[in-house]
Amino acid sequence: MSMYLNYFGLHTAPFSIAPDPQFLYLSERHQEALAHLSYGLRGSGGFILLTGEVGTGKTTVSRALLEQLPEQTKTAFILNPMLNQQELLATLCDEFGIRYAKRNITDKKLTDKLSEFLLQAHAQGEQCVVLIDEAQHLQPQVLEQLRLLTNLETNQDKLLRVILIGQPELQDLLRRRELRQLAQRITARYHLLPLQAADTERYINYRLQVAGAQRGLFNSKAITCVHQLSEGIPRRLNLLCDRALLAAYNDQQQVVNAGHIRLASKELDGQSASTSQINWRFALAVIGLLLIAAFSGWQLPRWFAVTSESVNTLAVSETAPQTIDQQTPTAANDALVALTRSWQLPKPPLDQPICQWLENYQLGCLEGRLRFDQLQRINYPVLLRLADGRMQLISTAMAVPDANWNGEYVLFWQLPPGYLHTDESVYQQWLARGLARFGADSSASLALQLRTLQVTAGLPISEQLDGPTLAWLSAQLLATGPRLEAVTEE
């Protein structure tokens, strides 16, 4: 290993999967997740939720959050969630340093000890936080016990805050009927998606720089290849990059190329290089067929509740959307999956309203009628509904609508900060900055400010904060999400 490091001029391994704080890199999505969780700790509820697929960086975000906590915060970590109710209470006492008699232990005695401790901590100006990793493994009875503990509160504050970190299955668990009271107490939630291509490049170069590299060690094709093969998952990125550096060292190459990345993938996945390449080409072919199927004749149900009708200054008004019919044609699912894929989302469920499901990912959905040039200005991938019932996915700036397009569209858009929370000030400040940035006079009425923005943007002039206006502002001011000029047909 010392020869490997010396060869590239490194003083430490840059892509270790150990959670070393000096290699902490917060992408735009990690920073956004951190902001949501920080907001939740300041809110009035007892629970904060962070979910994401394996290796997306949930632990990274939670460590960054804990580092931001004030010194007068007492924290308890539960890394093994396979506990019953009494074991949970005992573990919390152990983590907070609460002494209790081990004999004749009961749930009530432990709860009383915890309650006394929390009250004393609050009297001393201290906040108590519990962080539970792999929380998708918690039993419903244990979650209910946690909810009961968070019942302790003053007129202004909860005495205990609980941060639940887990895989996407945790969201399914919290939708169970017996946990509906707990779900209502979640003041902040964020689903951490994989890195986007630009963040992958910054991530790699940042870790190399921290490790002592004086130059770039991965060429552009290698970075593109590693992003594709890792799917933006930081943990797999680390494994692939580490193996690729070793492969380049073995070849006595000064720079990692795409061939080294593919070799690293072959070693990690246990398949031959030729098989890996064939599988990748096969996957592209299948995706292409899916897109073709997506254009072949079905009528998208009107699931999408946000329309281009006027909305108030705080939120887009929504009606209850329909659920996806279990008998929806395959082409319908394919078209929707193609759109969700462009946002790096998992396959949407069939038993939940799509708009409601999107809120788990801090996204909104928009439907209505607009000119195609106005949709291009909003600059998000869009589904076009054709007069003959077919759907056309537009995901590139150069694409043109089918001649049979009737003007109807569906798109997803990135919700602004504070949009789903009760703290209106965060959202209002974001909106005010956006209006000012595009020439609106803050001393004028809101209608005139919106008219100025809509004229500047080339949007329909409604003088109201309608769906297209909010989506356009989101695309202009927020750095997350795909763009028409950045998304290509797969």
| Sequence-distant (≥ 6) Cβ neighbours of residue 13 within 8 angstroms | 1, 5, 211, 242
The neighbour count for residue 181, using CB atoms within 10 Å, is 10
Q: Between 410 and 320, whose confidence is greater?
A: 410
**Is the pLDDT reported for residue 93 higher than 70?**
yes
**Is the pLDDT reported for residue 139 higher than 60?**
yes
Tokens of 185: 């107490």
CA distances from 410 to 135, 306, 378, 388, 478 (A): 35, 10, 12, 16, 20
Residue 423's pLDDT is 55
CA distances from 439 to 17, 377, 449, 450 (A): 47, 17, 8, 10
Residues 424-447, mean pLDDT to the nearest whole number: 81
Q: Between 187 and 220, whose confidence is greater?
A: 220
**Is the pLDDT reported for residue 339 higher than 80?**
yes
Residue 447's pLDDT is 84
3 confidence band (pLDDT: 50, 70, 90): low
Say which residue the tokens 């193609």 belong to.
338
Residue 43's pLDDT is 67
Q: How far apart are CA 167 and CA 56, in angstroms?
A: 10
**Is the pLDDT reported for residue 333 higher than 90?**
no
**Is the pLDDT reported for residue 481 higher than 90?**
no
**Are 322 and 366 a contacting pair, CB within 8 Å?**
no
**Are 153 and 186 a contacting pair, CB within 8 Å?**
no
The whole-angstrom distance between residue 130's C-alpha and the CA centroid of its chain comes to: 22
Helices 220-230 and 197-210, axial angle in degrees (round to 10): 110
221-267: pLDDT as tens digits: 999 999 999 988 999 999 999 999 999 999 999 999 999 999 999 98
Quote the strand ranges of 98-232, DSSP E: 127-132, 160-166, 186-192
18-35: pLDDT as tens digits: 877 788 888 888 888 888
Closest CA to 339 of 306, 385, 374: 385
pTM of the predicted model as reported, rounded to 2 decimal places: 0.61
Q: How far apart are CA 413 and CA 363, in angstroms?
A: 6
**Are 257 and 244 a contacting pair, CB within 8 Å?**
no
168-215: pLDDT as tens digits: 888 888 888 888 888 888 888 888 888 888 889 999 999 999 999 989
Least confident of 103-112, 113-122, 370-379, 472-481: 472-481
Structural domains of the chain ordered from first start:
2-13+197-270 (1.10.8.60), 28-192 (3.40.50.300), 299-477 (no CATH)
